[in-house]
Structure 1
Amino acid sequence: MPTITQIDAYQKEAFTSTLRNGKTVTHEVYTQGNGSKVLILIQELPGIGQETLALADRFVNEGYTVVLPHLFGKIGKTAVVVNTFKVFCMRRQFRLFAKNESSPIVDFLSDLCTATKNKYQVDGVAVIGMCLTGNFAISLMANKAVLAGFASQPSLPLARQKHIHMSPEEIMAVKNRLDQVGPMHCARIQGDKICTAKRFDAYQKAFNSDKERIILHELPGKGHSILTLDFVDKDGHPTKEAFENVLTYFNGQLG
């Protein structure tokens, strides 16, 4: 098994942004790699555990610079219950049950995408959101700094599978941007009870009624975290194929 690059080997800096609610927030941002293609990798609810760090390594090994914002939780291990409590306490940044609006933390992430594009002087960046942050990857496609996005098992709004964690205005902005840069990708595992087929039905109706703007993938089997906790690094495995498809898509979009 390859050695996983630990967080103390990353470059670390603080990034500050003002949210739509007027609140100023600062989060630490970790970076590794010096590739010509840039990825914003947004953590999932279990945290920035070893599986997420391994995912970052896979992209670095493919010639990427990986930018990893730390939004909540400890780094290096997963803690679903503790992190869930922490996110519930961060109501100014996360609105877990909101329908027809996104969480204010999207504004922080959007500003980070713009700043990262400018810092590395690239045409644009790619983004991955997973689980709690999966929906954010869709919202961020409205930003002109973002050229590619992958929403992995998007889980918001919680307990409201038929609804979308975006306002009608946000949906329209994303649709217009995807018409310019081409479709993004979104995936779930068929047996997933957190991101169900009903959510994909909602995306299909909102984004793909007249053309395909979000390519929706359903992987066989059970599980939830496609690229991390349930990832199997074995040729032919659906999760390994999902990673390879994302990599091909990102490479094409970022040149």
Structure 2
Amino acid sequence: MPRPLDQDDPLDDFDRRHLGFDGITKTVYTAGCGPGVVVMTEMPGISPQVARFARWVRDAGFTVYMPSLFGRDGAVPQAEEGAAIFKRACVSAEFRALAANESSPVTQWLRALAKQAHSECGGPGVGAIGMCFTGNFALTMMLERSVLAPVLSQPTLPLKDPAGVEISPADLAAVRERLDREDLSVLAYRFEGDPYCRAERFAAYRAALGPRFVARVLPDSAANPDTAPFFRQFVAHPHSVVTAHLIDEAGQPTLQARDEILDFFRQRLVP
């Protein structure tokens, strides 16, 4: 049965694990079987909509690894609480929220998580999807060789440079070299009028990665207008392609984007 999206989600169908790498321990919610996929939450945390997407990945035949990176796990995004979480993340040493051409330190931990997921689940490798604040992390995670299927959903960082990319030049060059060498690609999604993930950012990715960067731009009319308080107050425009602004109805562009992502994971990860 579908879970209500307007109530806090207990996440009781996930295993709650505490995984530590390089002296840093985080809570990771896991579920399913099959090749591993790391699902990184959007701001302000693992909402019912983010958990719904993770369940779709699980039900498609994958093992989901959903790390708690910020916020209150399973909570409906409230306005004041979400704003406070956003402000703390912007000044956290784990993230490079403002400056372009830098890789967030948390991506090293995420790369270790991907490596562990591959060792536990087997198969050719793992997938990874970042959303909003974590949108670019799946790209940097490709420095871990087990990551074969990266998805960037409305990558928002750096906040102060619409044409900037949240990855160091050296890391970006290494990723491009790997994409070419292994014949891999990167899927990316945004809404046409999203002021947090603008056309300039996708143009910068395209310039750096060439045809390996596969962009999908959805019309603003495809976004669900019925969102949680945090989004109504602070993100009052189409933004979250496969979570807050997804319309769960056949034929909807956002649902088609979800299906394309699941197919991408199957093509890359299922032997």
Q: TM-score, normalised by structure 1?
A: 0.91
Deviation at 1:3, TM superposition (A): 2.9
C-alpha contact (below 8 Å) 1:6/1:53 kept by paired residues: no
What do residues 16-54 of structure 1 show as CA deviations (whole Å, max 9, x unaligned)? Answer: 223xxxxx42211110112x1221000111210100111
Among 237, 243, 248, which residue is 2:263 paired with? 248
CA–CA distance in 2 between the matches of 1:252 and 1:121? 15
2:15 equivalent to 1:11: yes
Q: CA RMSD in A?
A: 1.5
Match of 1:137, SS state, is helix
Match of 1:68, SS state, is strand
Aligned to 1:109: 110
2:208 equivalent to 1:206: yes
Deviation at 1:191, TM superposition (A): 1.2
Alignment of 1:136-151 (within 5 A): 136-151=137-152
Match of 1:27, SS state, is strand
Deviation at 1:142, TM superposition (A): 2.5
Deviation at 1:85, TM superposition (A): 2.2
CA–CA distance in 2 between the matches of 1:93 and 1:154? 17
2:205 equivalent to 1:217: no
CA–CA distance in 2 between the matches of 1:60 and 1:51? 14
CA–CA distance in 2 between the matches of 1:88 and 1:204? 26
What do residues 122-151 of structure 1 show as CA deviations (whole Å, max 9, x unaligned)? Answer: 321000000000010111122211010110
CA–CA distance in 1 between the matches of 2:183 and 2:49? 30
2:147 equivalent to 1:132: no
Aligned to 1:72: 70
How many aligned residue pairs are there? Answer: 245
Match of 2:24, SS state, is strand
C-alpha contact (below 8 Å) 2:44/2:85 kept by paired residues: yes
CA–CA distance in 1 between the matches of 2:183 and 2:207? 20
Unaligned runs of 5+ in 1: 19-23
Aligned to 2:30: 31
Among 85, 88, 96, which residue is 1:86 paired with? 88
Deviation at 1:181, TM superposition (A): 4.1
C-alpha contact (below 8 Å) 1:73/1:86 kept by paired residues: no
Match of 1:128, SS state, is strand
Aligned to 2:234: none
Q: TM-score, normalised by structure 2?
A: 0.86
CA–CA distance in 1 between the matches of 2:90 and 2:150? 26
C-alpha contact (below 8 Å) 1:93/1:104 kept by paired residues: yes
CA–CA distance in 2 between the matches of 1:129 and 1:177? 19
C-alpha contact (below 8 Å) 2:35/2:122 kept by paired residues: no
Deviation at 1:186, TM superposition (A): 0.5
Among 226, 231, 247, which residue is 2:241 paired with? 226
CA–CA distance in 1 between the matches of 2:183 and 2:45? 30
Among 187, 192, 204, which residue is 1:190 paired with? 192
CA–CA distance in 2 between the matches of 1:243 and 1:47? 19
Match of 1:122, SS state, is coil
Q: For structure 1, which segment, 118-127 or 185-194, has the greater mean C-alpha deviation from structure 2 after superposition?
A: 118-127
Give the partner amino acid of 1:182: L
Aligned to 2:254: 239
Give the partner amino acid of 1:206: A
Give the partner amino acid of 1:119: E
What do residues 43-78 of structure 1 show as CA deviations (whole Å, max 9, x unaligned)? Answer: 111210100111111112211211100011101122
C-alpha contact (below 8 Å) 2:96/2:166 kept by paired residues: no
Which 4+ stretches in 1 moved above 6 angstroms?
none
C-alpha contact (below 8 Å) 1:147/1:181 kept by paired residues: no
Deviation at 1:89, TM superposition (A): 4.2
CA–CA distance in 1 between the matches of 2:162 and 2:71? 25
Taking every aligned residue pair, what percent have the same amino acid on both sides? 34
